[in-house]
Chains A and B, each alone.
Chain A
Amino acid sequence: MPTSLPNATKLMREAATFNTKVAAGMQRLSTITDEHVEIATTPKDVILRTEKVSLYRYRPLSESRIRTPVLIVYSLIGRHTMTDLQEDRSLVRNLLSMGVDLWVVDWGNPSRADRWLSIDDYVSGYVDDCVTAMLDHTGAGKVNLLGICEGGVFTLAYAALEPARVNTLVLLITPLDFHADQNDEELDKGFINVWTRSLTKYDVDRMIEVWGVLPGEFMGAIFSMLTPVRSATKYNLDLLDVVDDERKLLNFLRMEKWLTDRPHHPGEAAKEWLKDLYQDNKLINNTWQLGGRDVDLTRVTMPVLNIFALDDHIIPPATSRVLDGKLGTNDYTEMSLPGGHIGLFVSAKSQGIVGNSIVDWLAGRDA
């Protein structure tokens, strides 16, 4: 018969250790200010501002190796600062240190006033403005596009609409076949796909009618349902695990800073994102239109590198590994890497792997 009544002395010792840790942690937390938790610190210059959108060019950190400029296009959900979270966990720094001329577009903070912005306004408008500015400044004939998540869809659409301006396309953790999660169903992956399909188009329209945007806080709540227990215990368990280690605590707080910076998603673009793509899956079916133009994947004739994360619970790998044979190019590379949706960029293990893979691939295709 098992006998495992708690030992009182042991319990008291554990409680004392725990209390000491909490006290030390509280003391440490009280001395940390927002300035200690800086993110996205790699130096860059603003090249273009158009409405709320800014285009930045990073200052070089080493001798140029890839001459064709690379534009990072991040999602409207979250912010690009995740690619430069901290000095030793930064895709941006990794790429710069390998001689990439790196640019990034920041979508700013859309508000209800931006309700009517559509995906076409982003793709044919802002992305195109950024590409024009890059060509103006560098004298290059084309650019390399590096799209992340929803930004991957934007860059793929742009490449299909304006192939003459794109030298190569790199997609990172990008959803492409929004229904493929059903073929490879895993309990902890793809809840957003399931949730979106549970709504009707009317539901989506009503949300935007009420809020004008897809509120960042609302998407945050949906994301927290992807990892329900972790979300519920983040501050009372995870934080306690790291609170007495300054380096780990600051890493934790940087991630929190990024997570709390959740811009709203403009309403019309959100409606298209949820209805045309998540519900109707128009992109991979080659029936998607932007501004009256077909987003025809066979017009993507430049080399394409498609990187996805094997443990991605937001964008299941099955929804990303679907482009083979769909594009108008034979130079198509798929690369699966260990890690999750965010871990691919910020985990200690993945540092260097993503950047090296991209630069090695670009080097053979530089214009």
Chain B
Amino acid sequence: MTSDPWEEMTRRWREMYQEHASLAQKNFLDGQAQLATALAGGAVVDPGELWRSWMAFGDSLWGSPLGGGGDAASGAGAIGALRESVSLSLASGGAVSEALRRMAEGPRLADVGTSQRLIAKVMKLWLSVQDSARTYESVVSGAWAQANTRFVERLSQRYGTGTDMPDAKESLKLWLDVANQVLLETHRSEKFLDAQRQLLRSGMDFMLAEREFVEALVEPAGLPTRTEIDEVHRSIHELKRRVKTLERASVTTSLATTSESGSTDVRPRTTSKGKDP
């Protein structure tokens, strides 16, 4: 125990983090052992590839909203981070996906393998996000390729009719107009909307599984979980509603007892006043 509460708190947090990191590492190694068993019958997986995928996952986990407090804005960023991660491409083996699927969806035993199952579930969904991101990016890339093609066609048309080629400024405007048109068309296409929706779904599924995993880690340490805090907020919200309803009922009752006053519009009075800071 030190005399500096801040230092003491940071020390305890650091220890707690290290404990959790160790636990996560142990779970991973246990999961590897299970994977090896699961794969022993046939499919071959590259352990190095799996390790890289795990590291990529770890980066996302500790930098993610649930690792850092569950802020909604960070949550929005997490999807972008997923898509941008170069590491995404490192763990794409079908055998790994299949093994993870079996681990995540296999029979649940009461006291065995919960954390391994959760890790497998998170990793499986991570791969699913990767697949969705690839599909989405291929649709978007297709749109840019289409824009290039149309731009060249326009220039060819000018060339074919003997029109002077546009200068730099005119070329830029033409290119931007063409690209804008193609992107607008793409955004409304079924292909794009399907790919975007699938990416969104995969991302949401991943983040919910990630939350489940993190909550399983922090709950034994007595730390509040996102789910618990949401429940608390809901309770407070419902209490506020009840108070407002009671306030209004109370005003209505007092109106009924003084109905001779003539006023027909009674609401709770204002609660605070002041100058604009």
Enumerate chain A interface residues (CB-CB to B < 8 A): 1-4, 6, 11, 14, 43-50, 56, 111-117, 121, 125, 128-129, 131-133, 135-137, 141, 164-165, 187-188, 191, 194-195, 198-199, 203, 206-207, 209-213, 215-218, 221, 225, 227-230, 233, 237, 264
Contacts and interface: CB of A to CB of B under 8 A. Distances in A.
Interface stretch (B92-100, B126-134, B178-186): B178-186
Contact of B275 (A4, A45, A229): A45
A16 to B, nearest CB: 14
A210 B267 contact: no
A214 B175 CA distance: 34
Given A4-B164, A45-B276, A199-B197, A164 B265 contact: yes
B272 A203 contact: no
Contacts of B196: 195, 198
Contact of B159 (A2, A45, A237): A2
- Which of B158, B164, B168, B184 is the most central at the interface, judged by chain A CB atoms within 10 Å of its CB? B184
A321 B263 CA distance: 38
Interface residues of B, number: 57
Contacts of A141: 265
Q: Which 7 A-B pairs have the closest CB atoms?
A: A229-B180, A116-B237, A4-B165, A228-B183, A198-B193, A215-B76, A132-B267
A14 B168 contact: yes
Contact of A194 (B77, B188, B234, B275): B188
Contacts of B75: 210-211, 215
B159 A46 contact: no
Contacts of B211: 210
Contacts, number: 146
B201 A203 contact: yes
B49 interface: no
Contacts of A165: 265
Nearest to B80: A221
A121 B240 CA distance: 10
23 contacts: A1-B162, A2-B164, A45-B274, A48-B273, A49-B272, A50-B271, A112-B230, A113-B233, A115-B230, A115-B233, A132-B269, A164-B265, A191-B187, A195-B193, A203-B197, A209-B208, A211-B76, A212-B70, A212-B72, A217-B76, A225-B187, A237-B176, A264-B72
A46 B274 contact: yes
B272 A112 contact: no
A117 B237 CA distance: 7
Contacts of A125: 244
A47 B276 CA distance: 8
B163 interface: yes
Given A111-B72, A165-B265, 14 more contacts: A45-B274, A46-B275, A47-B273, A115-B233, A117-B237, A125-B244, A129-B268, A136-B270, A137-B270, A164-B264, A210-B208, A210-B211, A228-B187, A229-B183
